């Protein structure tokens, strides 16, 4: 049987004029060569796009007025546009981005005391079909291009007035399965970490996967790569099969083997995300099995109380149970944290703001 994630997702149809937003240096060289300009201009455009985060050709004052006019004609400069935002009491803001073809994805800006974390989408919808996830219910529409991924970062940093050297963490925990769109995610990673541009630290970028083992293996082969988080979410194959269809292709044993073989840097750990669904995945037995799974490689555990959304059929765990599981895992010597879904009061669970836009 072929499964939705075995097929590559559709890509954005090419625009009549190329969009410079999201081009790497090579592509920019091609663009300026077509205008009879030297490669030096490409480097200036690269800096304007990714270091200065400029959004209109008029801002590129390092270029001649004449070149700016020709670029205006020959190339688009279009970052994803924020069409809806919802601020939360906890200080985070969930943004809905409209893409060139009208699709909407979401990103979240989360300020903390010492850093800002941006949560990014990697696809429109998702092919993985996890039954508890609002994005999973949408199905897959298409992959995001590298420029649309970088564009979420550029647009959020601009919207929130960040300076170029503010400490920023990125997590691929919005819509989509990043390992189902690994080429574009890695192209975005290269742009995001380029010292001539946004210059974000690779160590501060985390890719979260539902457990696409073929993708974990491909990621492992990259020398420069983001950190890895795995959405474990269940501790027996029977339950994981039920809530995450990907488990029927790669079960817990296959996942464990892939994670044990994943080459880690000194001090690097794999994050295990664990969504707590009341009466499904939140028993104390689950806690003990989770601890045993996590002990097999360098890891830290992140418990995520289920964020309810309309029609999901699941409930969040009790506060008492969250506390019991925290204590159980800590007693086993694991590093454990609880992720309260930021923005819960205004925008709800993963994927919901974009779904509201679609309706
Ligand atoms: N597709 C990737 C990354 C995006 S989902 C993945 O699944 O890892 C990011 C995280 O949100 C995952 O850990 C997922 O299990 C979790 N999640 C999805 N829907 C949720 C909900 N309604 N409440 C709490 N966590 C949820
Ligand atoms: Fe896709 Fe992740 Fe949602 Fe599963 S939890 S459907 S992999 S976005």
**Average confidence (pLDDT) per 10 residues, the chain, 359 residues:** 87 91 97 95 98 97 96 95 93 95 95 96 97 94 98 98 96 97 98 98 98 98 98 98 98 98 97 98 98 98 93 95 98 94 52 49
Contact (Cβ atoms closer than 8 angstroms) between residue 124 and residue 175: yes
pLDDT at residue 339, as a whole number: 87
229 Cβ closer than 6 Å to some ligand 2 atom: no
208 Cβ closer than 6 Å to some ligand 2 atom: no
100 Cβ closer than 6 Å to some ligand 2 atom: no
- For residue 58 the two structure tokens come to 């008029």
**Ligand with the closest atom to the CA of 173:** 1
pLDDT at residue 15, as a whole number: 84
**Ligand with the closest atom to the CA of 136:** 2
pLDDT at residue 89, as a whole number: 86
219 Cβ closer than 6 Å to some ligand 1 atom: no
Mutational test site, ligand 2, from 135, 213, 255, max ligand atoms within 8 Å of CB? 135
Q: Specify the DSSP element, H or E, that contains 149.
A: helix 146-159
Is 106 a known active-site residue? yes
265 Cα–ligand 1 center, Å: 25
Place of tokens 């964020």: 307
Q: Given the residues 100, 106, 148, 273, select the one marked as catalytic.
A: 106
CA distance 307 to 11: 30
31 Cβ closer than 6 Å to some ligand 2 atom: no
- For residue 232 the two structure tokens come to 């474990």
Contact (Cβ atoms closer than 8 angstroms) between residue 275 and residue 281: yes
209 Cα–ligand 1 center, Å: 9
273 Cβ closer than 6 Å to some ligand 2 atom: no
19 Cβ closer than 6 Å to some ligand 2 atom: no
Atom of ligand 1 nearest to the CA of 351: 19
Q: Whose CA is nearest to atom 6 of ligand 2?
A: 136
List own/partner pairs for 42-45 with CB under 8 A and 24 or more apart.
43/196, 45/20, 45/71
Q: Given the residues 119, 126, 133, 350, select the one marked as catalytic.
A: 350
pTM: 0.95
129 Cα–ligand 1 center, Å: 11
CA distance 156 to 328: 38
Contact (Cβ atoms closer than 8 angstroms) between residue 90 and residue 108: no
- For residue 145 the two structure tokens come to 């291009």
- For residue 165 the two structure tokens come to 């050297």
**Ligand with the closest atom to the CA of 177:** 1
């Amino acid at each position: 049987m072929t499964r939705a994630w075995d097929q590559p997702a559709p890509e954005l149809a090419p625009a009549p004029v190329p969009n410079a937003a999201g081009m790497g240096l090579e592509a920019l060289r091609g663009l300026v060569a077509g205008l009879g300009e030297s490669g030096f201009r490409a480097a200036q455009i690269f800096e304007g796009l990714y270091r200065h985060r400029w959004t209109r050709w008029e801002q590129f004052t390092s270029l001649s007025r004449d070149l700016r006019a020709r670029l205006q004609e020959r190339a688009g400069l279009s970052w994803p546009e924020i069409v809806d935002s919802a601020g939360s009491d906890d200080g985070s803001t969930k943004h809905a981005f409209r893409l060139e073809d009208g699709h909407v994805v979401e990103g979240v800006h989360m300020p903390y005391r010492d850093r800002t974390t941006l949560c990014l989408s990697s696809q429109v919808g998702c092919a993985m079909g996890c039954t508890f996830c609002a994005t999973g219910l949408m199905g897959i529409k298409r992959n995001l291009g590298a420029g649309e991924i970088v564009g979420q970062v550029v647009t959020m940093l601009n919207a929130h007035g960040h300076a170029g050297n503010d400490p920023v963490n990125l997590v691929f925990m919005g819509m989509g399965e990043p390992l189902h769109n690994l080429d574009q995610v890695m192209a975005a990673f290269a742009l995001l970490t380029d010292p001539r541009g946004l210059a974000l630290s690779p160590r501060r970028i985390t890719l979260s996967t539902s457990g696409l083992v073929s993708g974990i293996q491909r990621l492992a082969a990259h020398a420069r790569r983001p950190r890895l988080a795995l959405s474990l979410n269940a501790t027996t194959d029977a339950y994981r099969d039920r809530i995450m269809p990907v488990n029927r292709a790669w079960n817990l044993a296959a996942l464990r083997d892939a994670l044990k073989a994943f080459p880690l840097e000194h001090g690097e750990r794999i994050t295990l995300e664990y969504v707590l669904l009341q009466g499904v995945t939140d028993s104390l037995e689950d806690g003990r099995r989770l601890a045993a799974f996590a002990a097999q490689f360098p890891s830290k555990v992140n418990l995520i109380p289920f964020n309810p959304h309309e029609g999901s059929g699941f409930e969040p765990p009790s506060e008492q149970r969250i506390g019991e599981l925290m204590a159980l895992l800590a007693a086993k010597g694991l590093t454990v944290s609880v992720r309260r879904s930021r923005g819960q009061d205004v925008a709800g669970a993963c994927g919901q703001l974009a779904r509201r836009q679609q309706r």
